[in-house]
Amino acid sequence: MHRDDTKTEPTRLLGLSTELHDRLFAFLINLDRLDRKDQPDAIANEVIETGGIYCCDHGDRFEVTLHGITAYARSQHQAPYIWIIAATFATNSDIGVLECIS
């Protein structure tokens, strides 16, 4: 049986199941096809559908947690874009990332 290390290695490093990693990757592809102004709504909908987090955290920062990736920002406007950066880095990096703070 052939093992595809390019697919399993980032998943292992992130601690994500293959199914979750595949959904994250597919979601990022779909986000890339949207206009930038529509991306925050798509993230909010995905959070609702998958049980993620999209809220104010500790009164001074906003949190988005989706598909195993958490991002914090200083405003609700910034948070989805910071999440996209963190998730993109996580899927393209050998080291992975679990949290990103702006």
The Cα angle at residue 29 between residues 23 and 30, in degrees rounded to 5: 90
pLDDT at residue number 17 = 52
Report the candidate in 45, 48, 49, 47 with the shortest Cα–Cα distance to residue 71.
47
In the predicted model, what is the mean pLDDT of residues 16-39? 83
Cβ-proximal residues to 7 (8 Å cutoff; 6+ apart), any chain: 18, 21
Instruction: Find how far residue 99's CA is from the centre of its chain.
Output: 9
Which residue type is seen at 8? T
What DSSP character marks residue 83? H
Q: Which amino acid is at 64?
A: V
30-60 pLDDT per residue, tens: 999 999 999 999 999 999 999 999 998 767 8
User: What pLDDT score does 95 carry?
Assistant: 52
Residue 27 reports pLDDT greater than 60: yes
pLDDT over 70 for what percent of the chain?
A: 69
pLDDT given at position 78: 94
Domain count, the chain: 1
Where in the sequence is the domain holding 71, given as residue range(s)?
5-101
